[in-house]
Amino acid sequence: MSQRSIQAEKLGILGGGQLGRMLIQSALDFNLDIKILDPDENAPCKKVSGEFVIGKLTDFDTVYNFGKDCDIISIEIENVNTDALKRLQSEGKKVFPQPEVIELIQDKRIQKQFYQANNIPTAEFILTENRNDVSNYKDFLPAVNKLGKEGYDGRGVQVLRSESDLGKAFDAKGLLEKLINFKKEIAVIVARNEHGEITSFPPVELVFHPEANLVEYLFAPAEISKAVALEADTIAKKVISKLNMVGLLAVEMFVDQDDQVLVNEVAPRPHNSGHQTIEANYTSQYEQHLRAIFDLPLGSTEALIPSAMVNLLGEDGYSGQAKYEGLNAVMEQKGVHIHLYGKKLTKPFRKMGHVTIVDRDVAALKEKVNFVKQTLKVIA
Amino acid sequence: MSQRSIQAEKLGILGGGQLGRMLIQSALDFNLDIKILDPDENAPCKKVSGEFVIGKLTDFDTVYNFGKDCDIISIEIENVNTDALKRLQSEGKKVFPQPEVIELIQDKRIQKQFYQANNIPTAEFILTENRNDVSNYKDFLPAVNKLGKEGYDGRGVQVLRSESDLGKAFDAKGLLEKLINFKKEIAVIVARNEHGEITSFPPVELVFHPEANLVEYLFAPAEISKAVALEADTIAKKVISKLNMVGLLAVEMFVDQDDQVLVNEVAPRPHNSGHQTIEANYTSQYEQHLRAIFDLPLGSTEALIPSAMVNLLGEDGYSGQAKYEGLNAVMEQKGVHIHLYGKKLTKPFRKMGHVTIVDRDVAALKEKVNFVKQTLKVIA
C-alpha cells in the first residue's frame, strides 16, 4: 500500500488573520507546507508562514493563481472568490470546505433557506429586497435585520425593535429574522473528513459584547441540560452532513425559553468559539481542521478540563500602536494562557488576542474570567 | 509605572533545531520578535522564524554580530561561543542562561566539581587528562568515561566495564564516573526568573534507547515514592539556585538501589524530558523558558493528566528523505499528539520528532506507548 504523504503536499490558505496564524502553529506539528494569501502585508500570518502572498481574496485571478501550485486549498475567512475555487476544484485541486458550501454560507439568505429545506430548526424569517421592502413587515417586528452578504464580525446585523427603527433597515438584499428571546447562545464545532467520519466538540456557551456584537467570552462546557446538549450536537452533525462538507464547521445556536435549539449561523472554518480547545481538549479545533481536510482520522474532542475564553478586544477610545496593560497580573493566575495575534495597531473592539483560562473548579473559572476582563486591556 | 513591553524587545536564540522551533511555536502566543542563528540553512526553525541567520554558533564574530541588535539572547544548544555572549552581556544585553552558567555546563569536568563544591549529590568521579591517564584507574571500573567538552545527544559518553575496555577510553580531557546501578533515571525541569522566583515541574521517568544512548520514551509522573520525588525536587532547585541561573534547567538524575538521588547531568534550556508539558501541563517548558528570561511570573507546572513522550528516532538502516510510516494508525488513538521537527533527511537514530500521549489511566498510557513505538517508523 502506498501511503499518502501529507508533508509532500502544499496547503494554500485564503486569509492570513489570527485563525490562520493558530492553524499554522498547529500545522508545524505535522510539518505541513503552508502558503497564505492575504491583502494585508502586516497580517498576523505574515512572519510565521513560509510563503506569504499579498493579494485580494475576492479577486478571481489572484485566488486562481495562488491556488495553482497548491494540492489542497482551504480558508480562514468566508469572503473569498468562490468562482476561482470552483475552477481550481475542476482542475483537480482539493478545496475544503467545498466552494459550493462557502457560497451557501456567504449568503445568509441561502443559508436560511437551506435550514428550512432540510428541517434544521432556525428562527422564522422573511427574505427582503431592500429598505423599502423591509417596511412592509412591521408586524414581524421585533426582528433581526441581516444583510445577505458580507456581514462579518458583528457587521451587517442589527435589531429592528419597532416601526421607528424601519428607517435604518439595510437597503440591500437581506432578511428579517424573528428576534429570539433566548436563554443562552451556544456553539458546537463539528468536523468531517473525506471518509465521512464526523466528530463534534462539546457545546460551549457564548456571551456577546453588548456594543460590539462580538463574542466577549465563552465557557466550556455550556451550562445546559443533557437533553439540550444532545439536541445541539445532533443539529450540528445534521448541518455538516446535509452540507456534505469536508472540514470544520462552527454552528452557533440559540436556546430559547422553552429549551428549543435553533441554528443562528454557521462558519465553515476554525472559529472564535473553539479557541479554548487548544489548551482544554484532547485535540484542538485547528488540528481537527487539518485532520479533516487531509482526510486523517479525526481526533478526540473530549475536554480535559473546564475552560473559558475571553476575547481581548481593543479598548474603546484607543487607536494606534497596541500596548497590553495588566499582562503580568493575569499571567500570575494559574491556568491562564495569553494569545496575542501579532497585530501592531489597535482600534476599538478590534480582536487583538484572546485569553484561555482552564480550571477544574467552575466557580473559580468564572472568577478568573472576571479578573481577566477587568485587568487586561489593549490600549495605545 | 511604565510597564516593560516584551513585544518591543528582540530575542535572539542561538540554535535553530527542534527546541528552537517549539520555543517559537510558544512565543507566537506572546507575539515576540525572535531571531535565530544556526549553521544549517535547513534547520527546523528556518521557515518559522521571522529572521533566520546562517552562521557558526561557536564563532566569536558570528555570535557577537548576531547578538548586537538583540535585547535578550538565549540558547537552545550549549555548544556556543560564550566569549561573545560575555561581551554582549558587558555591553548591556541580557543573556539568559548567563554565559558563565553555559561555560560551567559545557565542561562536564567543571560541572562535576561544581556539584562536589556545593554538596549536590552526584556519582563519585575522577578527572582524567587523556587515554593513558584513564588506564591508571582500572580499580575504579566499571565506570562511565565522559569527554569534558562537546559531548551531545549521546556522543562523548561510554561505559568502560573492565580493564579490556581501557583502550577505547577518550584520548582527551574527560572524567571517569562510578557506574551507578540505578533503579530509575528521572528528570526535573526547574525555572528561575530574574526576580529569583523558582518553579519545578513534577519528576519524569526516562527510559533510554539501549544503542543510541538517547531518551527513547518517558513517563510523567515518574513512578517513585513521595520521598524520592521531594528529594529530586529539592536537588533540582538547589542546582539552579547555586548556579544563580535565569532560565530553564533540566536536571537529569539517577535513583539508585537505596533510593539515593544523584545528579547525572544538566541542560540550561528546554529539554527532551519536558516535551510532554506542551499537552500535559498547565504551562509548557517552552512558555516557562520565555516567562523566565523575560522576567514574567512563572506559570503553574502542575500536570493536567498523566503523559508519556516517545522520541521518534530515524529507523536504523534508513538514510535519506524521511517518510513516516504508521502515522494514521497512531493518530486514531485518543490522546496521541504528533510532533514532527521539519527535518527533511533521516538517518539512524536522528531525532525526527516526538509523540506525546496523554491518558487518565496509566496502564492504558503504557499500552499506547508500546503501540506507538511498534507502529510509527521514520524510514526513507
**pLDDT tens-digit series, residues A162-183:** 999 999 999 999 999 999 999 9
Stretch B184-193: mean pLDDT: 97
pLDDT at residue A154 above 70? no
Least Cα separation, residue B275 to chain A (angstroms): 12
Contact B328 A302 (CB under 8 A): no
Minimum CA–CA partner of B1 in chain A: A325
Stretch A290-312: mean pLDDT: 97
How many residues would you count in chain B? 380
Q: What is the DSSP letter of B61?
A: H
pLDDT given at position B209: 78
- Separation of CA A76 from chain center: 8
| C-alpha grid cell, residue B192 | 528561575
End-to-end CA distance of chain B: 57
State the CATH architecture for A182-379.
2-Layer Sandwich (3.30)
What share of chain A in percent tops pLDDT 70?
A: 98
Chain A residues near residue B25 by CB distance under 8 angstroms: 25, 28
pLDDT at residue B154 above 70? no
Sheet holding B94-95, edge to edge: B51-54, B33-38, B10-14, B72-75, B94-95
Annotated ligand binding at B86? The verdict is no
Minimum CA–CA partner of B279 in chain A: A279
Reported in sequence order, the residue ranges of A201-294 that DSSP labels E, i.e. its strands, are: 204-208, 215-220, 247-256, 261-267
8 Å CB contact between A273 and A204: yes
Minimum CA–CA partner of A31 in chain B: B342
Contact A30 B337 (CB under 8 A): no
Chain A residues near residue B380 by CB distance under 8 angstroms: none
Place of cell 492504558: B364
Give the C-alpha distances (Å, rounded to integers) separating A65 from A53, A75, A108, B80, B200: 11, 15, 28, 44, 51
Report the alpha-carbon distance of residue B342 to residue B42 in Å, rounded: 9
pLDDT given at position A150: 75
Query: Domain-by-domain residue ranges, chain B?
Result: 6-95, 124-178, 182-379
B residues 303-332 lying closer than 8 A (beta carbon) to A: 304-305, 323-325, 327-328, 331-332
Report the alpha-carbon distance of residue B67 to residue A215 in Å, rounded: 42
Report the alpha-carbon distance of residue A53 to residue A67 in Å, rounded: 11
Minimum CA–CA partner of B25 in chain A: A25
Report the alpha-carbon distance of residue B151 to residue B265 in Å, rounded: 11
Per the omega criterion (within 30 degrees of 0), is the bond before A97 cis?
yes
| C-alpha grid cell, residue A367 | 472568577
3-state DSSP percent of chain B in helix, strand and coil, to 5: 30, 30, 35
Per-residue confidence band for B50, with pLDDT thresholds at 50, 70 and 90: confident
- How many beta-carbon pairs below 8 A join chains A and B? 85
Chain A residues near residue B30 by CB distance under 8 angstroms: 338, 340
Longest dimension (CA), chain B: 68
φ, ψ of residue B279 to 5 degrees: the values are: -95, -30
Question: Does residue B368 belong to the interface with chain A, where contact is any CB pair within 8 Å?
Answer: no
Stretch A265-294: mean pLDDT: 97
Q: In this structure, which amino acid lies at residue A67?
A: G
Minimum CA–CA partner of A21 in chain B: B28
8 Å CB contact between A241 and A233: no
Least Cα separation, residue A21 to chain B (angstroms): 9
Place of cell 556519582: B123
Of B3, B31, B340, the CB nearest to A29: B340
Of B282, B328, B331, the CB nearest to A335: B282
pLDDT given at position A345: 94
Question: Does residue B291 belong to the interface with chain A, where contact is any CB pair within 8 Å?
Answer: yes
8 Å CB contact between A315 and A348: yes
* Average pLDDT value over all residues in chain B: 95
pLDDT at residue A101 above 90? yes
Please count the other Cβ atoms lying within 10 Å of the Cβ belonging to residue B103.
16
Tell me the Ramachandran region of residue A21: left when phi exceeds 0, alpha when psi lies from -120 to 50, beta otherwise.
Answer: alpha
Chain B residues near residue A307 by CB distance under 8 angstroms: none
Chain A residues near residue B324 by CB distance under 8 angstroms: 5, 7
Contact A7 B324 (CB under 8 A): yes
Minimum CA–CA partner of A304 in chain B: B304
Q: Are strands A72-75 and A94-95 parallel, antiparallel or unpaired?
A: parallel
Q: Of A15, A31, A27, A25, give the one whose Cα is nearest residue A74.
A: A15
Minimum CA–CA partner of A283 in chain B: B335
Least Cα separation, residue B306 to chain A (angstroms): 11
Coil, strand, or helix at residue B176? strand
3-state DSSP percent of chain A in helix, strand and coil, to 5: 30, 30, 35
Coil, strand, or helix at residue A56? coil
pLDDT given at position B151: 67
Of A21, A31, A328, the CB nearest to B340: A31
Contact A3 B338 (CB under 8 A): no
Per-residue confidence band for B212, with pLDDT thresholds at 50, 70 and 90: confident
Q: Are strands B157-160 and A307-313 parallel, antiparallel or unpaired?
A: unpaired
Contact A299 B323 (CB under 8 A): no
Q: Of A238, A213, A222, give the one whose Cα is nearest residue A187.
A: A222
Chain A residues near residue B282 by CB distance under 8 angstroms: 334-335, 358
Same fold, B6-95 and B124-178: no
8 Å CB contact between B199 and B232: no
3-state SS record for B198-250: EEECCCEEEEECCCCCCEEEEEECCCCCHHHHHHHHHHHHHHHHHHCCCEEEE
Report the alpha-carbon distance of residue B19 to residue B75 in Å, rounded: 9
Report the alpha-carbon distance of residue B234 to residue B221 in Å, rounded: 16
Place of cell 492553524: A23
| C-alpha grid cell, residue B197 | 522566583
Contact A341 B31 (CB under 8 A): yes
8 Å CB contact between B273 and B214: no
Place of cell 433581526: A144
Contact B331 A299 (CB under 8 A): yes
Of A29, A300, A339, the CB nearest to B334: A300
Which long-range CB contacts under 8 A does B79-87 form with residues at least 24 apart?
B79/B106, B79/B150, B79/B152, B80/B14, B80/B15, B81/B57, B82/B106, B84/B59, B84/B60
Query: pLDDT tens digits for A172-218?
Result: 999 999 999 999 999 999 999 999 999 999 999 999 877 777 788 99
Place of cell 542563528: B37
Contact B28 A342 (CB under 8 A): yes
Per-residue confidence band for B371, with pLDDT thresholds at 50, 70 and 90: very high
Q: Which of B10, B28, B284, B355 to mutate to test the interface with A (most CBs of A within 10 A)?
A: B28
Least Cα separation, residue A361 to chain B (angstroms): 13
Is the alpha carbon torsion for B360, B366, B369, B371 positive or negative? negative
Q: Which residues contact A357 (CB under 8 A, 6 or more apart)?
A: A307, A308, A309, A310, A333, A335, A336, A337, A365, A368, A369, A372
Per-residue confidence band for B192, with pLDDT thresholds at 50, 70 and 90: very high
> H or E stretch including A230?
helix A226-243
Query: pLDDT tens digits for B86-125?
Result: 999 999 999 999 999 999 999 999 999 999 999 999 999 9
Q: Which residues contact A83 (CB under 8 A, 6 or more apart)?
A: A60, A99
Stretch A145-170: mean pLDDT: 87
Per-residue confidence band for B1, with pLDDT thresholds at 50, 70 and 90: very low
Annotated ligand binding at A265? The verdict is yes
Stretch A219-235: mean pLDDT: 97
Q: Which of A21, A24, A29, A377 to mutate to test the interface with B (most CBs of B within 10 A)?
A: A29
Q: What is the pTM of this model?
A: 0.95
Q: Is ipTM over 0.90?
A: yes
pLDDT given at position A1: 41
Q: Which residues contact B23 (CB under 8 A, 6 or more apart)?
A: B13, B34, B76, B270, B286, B289, B290
Helices (H) and strands (E) in chain B, counts: 11, 22
Please count the other Cβ atoms lying within 10 Å of the Cβ belonging to residue A303.
18
Minimum CA–CA partner of B332 in chain A: A297
Q: Of B270, B271, B272, B356, give the one whose Cα is nearest residue B306.
A: B356
8 Å CB contact between B113 and B93: no
8 Å CB contact between A172 and A130: yes
Contact A282 B335 (CB under 8 A): yes
State the CATH architecture for B124-178.
2-Layer Sandwich (3.30)
Give the C-alpha distances (Å, rounded to integers) separating B223 from B57, B153, B186, B202, B366: 38, 25, 9, 11, 12
Stretch B275-297: mean pLDDT: 98
Query: pLDDT tens digits for A29-79?
Result: 999 999 999 999 999 999 888 899 999 999 999 999 999 999 999 999 999
Least Cα separation, residue A274 to chain B (angstroms): 16
CATH match for B6-95 among 3.30.300.30, 3.40.50.20, 3.40.50.410, 1.20.120.350: 3.40.50.20
Least Cα separation, residue B318 to chain A (angstroms): 17
Of A25, A325, A328, the CB nearest to B297: A328
Place of cell 501529507: A6
Q: Which residues contact B155 (CB under 8 A, 6 or more apart)?
A: none
End-to-end CA distance of chain A: 57
Stretch A264-274: mean pLDDT: 96
